[in-house]
Amino acid sequence: MISFLQPKAAAARVAPEQVQKTYKLFRMQSLLGVFFGYMAYYIVRNNFALSTPHLKNELHLSATEVGLLSSCMLIAYGISKGLASSLSDKASPKRFMALGLLLCALVNVMMGFSTAFWMFAVLVVLNGLFQGMGVGPCFITIAHWFPRKERGIVGAVWNISHNLGGGIVAPIVGVGFALAGSDHWQAASYQVPAAIAIVFALVILALVKGSPTNEGLPPVSEIVKDASEEKSQQRQDSQPPEDMSVWNIFKNYVLFNKNAWFVSFVDVFVYMVRFGMISWLPIYLLNVKQFTKEEMSVAFLIFEWAAIPTTLLAGYLSDKLFKGYRMPPAIISMILIFFCIIGYWQSTSLFWTVIFAAIVGCLIYIPQFLASVQTMEVVPAFAVGSAVGLRGFLSYILGASLGTTLFGVAVDMVGWNGGFYVLLVAAICCVVFCILTHLGAKDLERQRKLAVQS
């Protein structure tokens, strides 16, 4: 790995009387850094979904072609998420994340000057590759700085970063149109978001810290006195095999870990529903529901931002009410989503269409972020990036690409009804894997308790 991306050498030990104060400051800075950084990744990702009506009109693309173009970025992102997240286990989280965001911004600047379909295809693939550098450092940072008993609410706080980022894309692009004019839709759609992303790359570098030991602090397990049921996990996490390669970490702690696979397939089907909704929401509302562009932008924003309060509530409940079990709120959410998709699809009222879209937006990120938190709990802290990589690879290669391409193919072949049947089947499959993940989590808990007693 190039020297710029390598973790810094361990800093001088912090004085014992300053440990608690320094720990609280550094972990808050790190959480803010990955929060705003990942928000910025979504500003230069979801802007492409908003630009699809312009691309469709300018390049005269079919629904299948628009879906394939979207899938190019998602497939590239899935591949990169798998590889880059594993590499981030051995990298400086803040430098790795900031570099990826700067490269995404550069690609968006170039998209503002592109006019041919093949140029967009190449650039969206590059954007997808660089987008994969964002998520791994976030989970690694949370796993390093927060104990297991706090990760539900902390994961919820971090998770709303992409709701915030995805939601403010429409206003940002709207400001871009106000500044550049409707004739310069590419500058408004791509270059204005890119400028904002560059600013937040600097924020990442300023705020995010390495692991506590890299910053001169003891491990979190020594700073925060956790409950007895976590002792076995702390022992496991406190001795990372520093001489172990990225491949060996992945093979030994992820590849043959059935729980890592269960939680990954939860994400696969969540992403099918999420991307099937969000990637086609602009075109569906404009062309089928006859929304105006202003109404569509409001619905897009509501879909993203509606999740913020429910995500925070679900994180709190998973920590407190469900005692660290993450899947019960996810199962409830997916069952409700199943019926709301039917309402969104069948409604003839503008009001109810927006309401059902908002409810899906409220709920769809709950199983996604709870799967993220569960991922941190089925592997040691030093293998989190690799586990995130597997989950990210499958969720985008299978989930997001099927949610966009298969939805588009179904629309072209049998109409919009076919697309919504795809989403309903995905919701049912997601519930099945949520149940398997929950059973696996209960088994891990029994093993922890036996380890503590022995």
CA atoms within 13 A on the CB side of 416: 14
Alpha-carbon span 351 to 116, nearest angstrom: 38
Average pLDDT of span 336-359: 85
Amino acid 454: pLDDT: 61
pLDDT at 232: 44
Inform me whether the pLDDT recorded for 424 exceeds 60.
yes
pLDDT given for residue 98 in this prediction: 95
Residues 388-407 have pLDDT tens digits of 788 878 887 788 778 877 88
* Rounded Cα–Cα distance for residues 400 and 394 (Å): 9
- Give 133's DSSP letter: T
pLDDT tens digits along 217-246: 888 878 876 543 444 444 444 455 566 777
Q: Rounded to 5, what percent of the chain is helix, strand, coil?
A: 80, 0, 20
3-state per-residue secondary structure call for 298-319: HHHHHHHHCHHHHHHHHHHHHH
Q: For residue 308, which of 365, 370, 372 has the smallest C-alpha distance?
A: 365
Residue 410 pLDDT: 84
Q: 15, exposed or middle or buried, with CB in 10 Å at 0-12, 13-18, 19+?
A: exposed
DSSP for 7-59, written as a single string: PPPPPPPPPGGGHHHHHHHHHHHHHHHHHHHHHHHHHTTTHHHHHHHHHHHHH
Tell me the C-alpha to C-alpha distance, in Å, between residue 422 and each of 192, 252, 410: 35, 35, 8
Q: What is the pLDDT of residue 235?
A: 43
Distance separating alpha carbons of residues 356 and 237, to the nearest angstrom: 43
User: Considering only CA atoms, which of 89, 80, 94 is closest in space to residue 32?
Assistant: 94
Task: Provide DSSP, 268-307.
Answer: HHHHHHHHHHHTTHHHHHHHTS---HHHHHHHHHHHHHTH
Q: What is the pLDDT of residues 204-214, one digit of tens each?
A: 999 999 888 88
Average predicted confidence (pLDDT) for the chain = 82
State the pLDDT confidence band at 250, using cuts at 50, 70 and 90: confident
pLDDT, tens only, 17-70: 888 899 999 999 999 999 999 999 999 998 887 887 777 777 777 767 777 777
Higher pLDDT pick, 92 / 305: 92
Q: Is 428's pLDDT higher than 50?
A: yes
Instruction: Tell me what pLDDT residue 196 has.
Output: 95
Region 158-181: mean pLDDT is 84
Instruction: Name which of 143-157, 324-338, 417-431 the model is least confident about.
Output: 143-157
Give me the count of residues in the chain.
454
- The pLDDT value recorded for residue 227 is 43
**What domains lie within the chain, and their CATH numbers?**
15-217+255-453 (1.20.1250.20)
Residue predicted with more confidence, 412 or 454? 412
Q: In this predicted structure, what is the pLDDT of residue 51?
A: 82
pLDDT at 3: 67
Region of 449 please: left (phi>0), alpha (psi -120 to 50) or beta: alpha
The whole-number pLDDT of residue 228 equals 39
pLDDT the model gives residue 119? 84
Reported as a single tens digit per residue, the pLDDT across 252-302 is 888 888 889 999 999 999 988 888 887 777 677 777 776 776 776 677 667
Residue 225: the pLDDT is 66
pLDDT tens, position by position, 109-156: 998 887 777 888 899 899 999 998 998 899 889 888 888 778 888 888
Nearest residue to 8 (alpha-carbon basis) of 181, 203, 208, 182 = 208
